[in-house]
């Protein structure tokens, strides 16, 4: 019997890739997305087209079956629409739910804080109530490395403190972790939170550095480089993120018998709840990342170097030992490989 999975944010960057992978794996896949215009809708519509969904025939809150994949359905809806989401989930009775819908962007949260509360808080509450009403077997939800905030000791481990976020985006995702744990404790909903580290790759968002740098270099325009390129990031290729999710789906968390309230760990619980880092475990300087883009394009960038921005942290690096131990996989795509893959896609997509 096919496993039935709901993927929220299915027209987004990571959600698109996961939906396509789950379709190929034989799941009965339901994609949900609000189709917001945060970075424009053209790329989202094109992702839908690749899924066999014509956005022009999509009707809000109505299921549309893919013309390319008989095991894929799409619904346009706001995750914060409490009544619809809870009713939809109770009716459909999903085995797995993967929440990738969120208002993304660290810097955007400085300008438009209210949308983060709507999407990331109210939307996630709807999803939790939907899981509660429909007895979901496993909820997997996206968190972020941004929750580590002011931590400077590397590599970052799931049990490191996360009480000092420096953006509202990070605070909203940490709140998701706390909300999921409360529902896991109260209603025994198995929940796994995934802290993603700087995800990049084909079909990526236009507001992300890789997309903007590639676009500017091709157009002979200067790129704006913050912190003079000295920031360090754990760049993680999207295919490695998807492989990690696929392997974690059947790993339904159970209460940790070794967990103690006397010395509580963040990453596990007496409830069926787990937190994992998903990163490449490689500290790469932004300058090196830019060099990889230049190499893939065969063209040098003209740079405008600026100081670090509010909300940016100097470095991230993931400890993924827990992930590797459980699913026998760790992200391993090199920056050169991943950037070349993105540039190849960019040239195809924009007919460069």
pLDDT of 115 reads: 82
pLDDT digits (tens, 9 = 90+) for 132-176: 999 999 999 999 999 999 999 999 999 999 999 998 889 999 999
Residue 16 to residue 3: CA distance in whole angstroms:
18
pLDDT of 350 reads: 97
pLDDT of 107 reads: 65
pLDDT digits (tens, 9 = 90+) for 197-241: 999 999 999 999 999 999 999 999 999 999 999 999 999 999 999
Q: Which three-class secondary structure string do you get for the chain?
A: CCCEEEEECCCCHHHHHHHHHHHHHCCEEEEEECCCCECECHHHHHHHHHCCCCCCCCCCCCCEECCCCCCEEEEECCCCCHHHHHHHHHHHCCCEEEECCCCCCCCHHHHCHHHHHHHHHHHHHHHHHHHHHHCCCEEEEEEEHHHHCCCCCCCECCCCCCCCCCCHHHHHHHHHHHHHHHHHHHHCCCEEEEEECCEECCCCCCCCHHHHHHHHHHCCCCEEEEHHHCCEECCEEHHHHHHHHHHHCCCCCCCCCCCCCCCCCCCCCCCCEEEEEECCCCCEEHHHHHHHHHHHHCCCCCEEEECCCCCCCCECCECCHHHHHHHCCCCCCCHHHHHHHHHHHHHHHCCC
Catalytic annotation, pick one of 169, 183, 289, 346: 169
Would you say the C-alpha torsion 338, 344, 347, 349 has a positive or negative sign? negative
Contact of 182 with 220, CB cutoff 8 Å? no
Residue 145 to residue 236: CA distance in whole angstroms:
11
Assess whether 273 carries a catalytic annotation: no
How many CB atoms within 10 Å of residue 59?
Answer: 9
pLDDT of 106 reads: 64
pLDDT of 105 reads: 66
pLDDT digits (tens, 9 = 90+) for 116-137: 888 899 999 999 999 999 999 9
pLDDT digits (tens, 9 = 90+) for 8-47: 999 999 999 999 999 999 999 999 999 988 788 999 999 9
Which residue, among 281, 285, 291, has the nearest Cα to 332 in the 3D structure? 281
Peptide bond preceding 258: is omega within 30 degrees of 0, i.e. cis?
A: no
pLDDT digits (tens, 9 = 90+) for 43-100: 999 999 999 999 999 999 999 999 999 999 999 999 999 999 999 999 999 999 999 9
Q: Flag whether the pTM goes above 0.85.
A: yes
pLDDT of 1 reads: 65
Domains of the chain: 4-199+236-279+319-332 (3.40.50.720)
């Amino acid at each position: 019997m096919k496993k039935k999975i709901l993927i929220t944010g299915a027209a987004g960057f990571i959600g698109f890739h996961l939906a396509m992978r789950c379709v190929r794996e034989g799941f009965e896949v339901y994609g949900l997305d609000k189709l917001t215009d945060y970075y424009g809708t053209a790329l989202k519509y094109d992702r839908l087209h690749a899924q066999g969904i014509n956005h022009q025939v999509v009707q809000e809150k109505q299921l549309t079956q893919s013309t390319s994949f008989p095991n894929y359905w799409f619904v346009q809806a706001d995750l914060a629409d409490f009544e619809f989401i809870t009713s939809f989930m109770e009716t459909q009775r999903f085995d797995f739910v993967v929440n990738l819908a969120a208002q993304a962007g660290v810097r955007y949260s400085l300008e438009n804080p209210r949308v983060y509360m709507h999407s990331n808080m109210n939307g996630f509450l709807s999803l939790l109530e939907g899981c509660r009403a429909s007895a979901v077997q496993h909820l997997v939800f996206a968190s972020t490395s941004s929750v580590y905030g002011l931590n400077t000791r590397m590599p970052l481990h799931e049990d490191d403190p996360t009480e000092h976020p420096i953006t509202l985006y990070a605070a909203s995702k940490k709140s998701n972790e706390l909300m999921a744990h409360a529902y896991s404790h109260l209603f025994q909903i198995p929940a796994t939170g995934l802290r993603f580290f700087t995800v990049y790759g084909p079909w990526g968002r236009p507001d992300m550095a890789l997309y903007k740098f590639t676009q500017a270099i091709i157009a002979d325009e200067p790129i704006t480089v913050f912190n003079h390129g000295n920031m360090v990031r754990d760049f993680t290729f999207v295919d490695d993120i998807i492989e990690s999710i696929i392997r974690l789906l059947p790993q339904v968390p159970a209460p940790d018998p070794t967990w103690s309230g006397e010395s509580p760990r963040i990453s596990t619980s007496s409830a069926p709840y787990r937190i994992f880092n998903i990163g490449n475990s490689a500290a790469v300087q932004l300058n090196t990342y830019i060099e990889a883009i230049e190499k893939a394009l065969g063209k040098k960038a003209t740079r405008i170097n600026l100081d670090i921005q509010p909300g940016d942290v100097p470095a991230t690096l993931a400890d993924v030992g827990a992930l590797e131990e459980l699913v026998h996989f760790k992200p391993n795509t090199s920056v050169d490989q991943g950037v070349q893959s993105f540039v190849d896609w960019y040239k195809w997509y924009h007919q460069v």
